[in-house]
Chains A and B, each alone.
Chain A
Amino acid sequence: MSKPLYLENNATFGSNTLHYIHRAAEVGLYDIRGLGAKRRVPNFDDLTFLTASVSRYPLEGYREKCETRTVLGTRYAKKPLVLDIPITIAGMSFGALSANVKEALGRAATQLGTTTTTGDGGMTPEERQSSKTLVYQCLPSRYGFNPDDVRKADAIEVVVGQGAKPGGGGMLLGQKINARVAHMRCLPQGIDQRSASRHPDWTGPDDLAIKIAELREITDWEKPIYVKIGATRVKNDVKLAVAAGADVVVVDGMQGGTAATQQVFIEHAGIPTLAALRQAVEALEEIDMLGTVQLIISGGIRSGADVAKALAMGADAVAIGQGVMMALGCNRPDYFQNGAHHSALADYEKLGTAVGHCHHCHTGRCPVGVTTQDPVLEQRLEPAEGARRVKNYLQTLKMELTTLARACGKSDVHHLEREDLVALTIEAAAMAKVPLAGTDWIPGLQRY
Chain B
Amino acid sequence: MDTLSATAQRQASAVRFDLAETSVRELNHFLHRELPGSGIETIEIVHPAGQHNIAVGVDAPVKIDIYGHVGYFVGGMNKQADITVHGNVGWSVAENLMSGSVRVKGFASECAGASGHGGLLVIEGDASSRCGISMKGIDIVVGGSVGHMSAFMAQAGHLVVCGDADHGLGDSLYEAVIYVRGQIHGLGADARVEPMQESDYAKVAQLLAKAGFDHDPREFKRVASARTLYHWNADANQEY
Contact = CB atoms under 8 A, between A and B. Distances in A.
A218 B56 contact: yes
Contacts of A142: 96, 115, 134, 136
Q: Which of A141, A211, A217 has the most CB of B within 10 A?
A: A217
B161 interface: no
A194 B136 contact: no
Contact of A187 (B111, B172, B174): B174
Interface string B136-168: 110000000000000011011000000000000
A207 B52 CA distance: 11
Contact of A145 (B24, B91, B96, B137): B96
A267 to B, nearest CB: 17
B96 A171 contact: no
Given A146-B96, A186-B136, A217 B230 contact: no
Contacts of B53: 210, 213-214, 217
Nearest to A218: B57
A210 B71 contact: yes
B207 interface: no
Contacts of B229: 192, 194
Interface string A355-384: 000000011000000000000000000000
A191 B115 contact: no
A145 B77 CA distance: 10
Given A147-B59, A147-B96, A201-B114, A211 B73 contact: yes
A217 B24 contact: yes
A227 to B, nearest CB: 17
Interface in A290-346: none
Contacts of A188: 174-175
Contacts of B239: 27-29
Given A27-B238, A32-B234, A196 B92 contact: no
Given A200-B114, A220-B29, A186 B155 contact: yes
Interface string A197-225: 00011100001001101100111110000
Contact of A147 (B71, B79, B130, B152): B79
Report the interface size class on chain B. 35 or more
A210 B73 contact: yes
Contacts of B79: 147-148
B73 A214 contact: yes
A173 interface: yes
B77 A171 contact: no
A92 interface: no
Contacts of A196: 134, 153
B22 interface: no
Given A200-B134, A210-B71, A213-B53, A220 B32 contact: yes
B130 A192 contact: no
B33 A220 contact: yes
A146 B136 CA distance: 11
A174 interface: yes
A147 B229 CA distance: 30
A219 B29 CA distance: 9
Interface string B41-64: 000000000001100110100000
Interface in A137-177: 141-142, 145-148, 150-151, 171, 173-174
B21 interface: no
Contacts of B56: 214, 217-218
A150 B230 CA distance: 30
Contacts of B73: 201, 210-211, 214
Nearest to B55: A217
Interface in B85-134: 91-92, 95-96, 98, 111, 114-115, 117, 130, 133-134
Interface of A: 27-29, 32, 141-142, 145-148, 150-151, 171, 173-174, 185-188, 191-192, 194, 196, 200-202, 207, 210-211, 213-214, 217-221, 260, 362-363
28 contacts: A28-B239, A29-B239, A141-B134, A142-B136, A145-B115, A146-B77, A147-B96, A174-B232, A185-B155, A187-B156, A188-B174, A191-B231, A192-B231, A192-B232, A196-B153, A200-B111, A210-B73, A211-B73, A213-B52, A213-B53, A214-B56, A214-B76, A214-B77, A217-B28, A218-B76, A219-B57, A221-B25, A260-B234
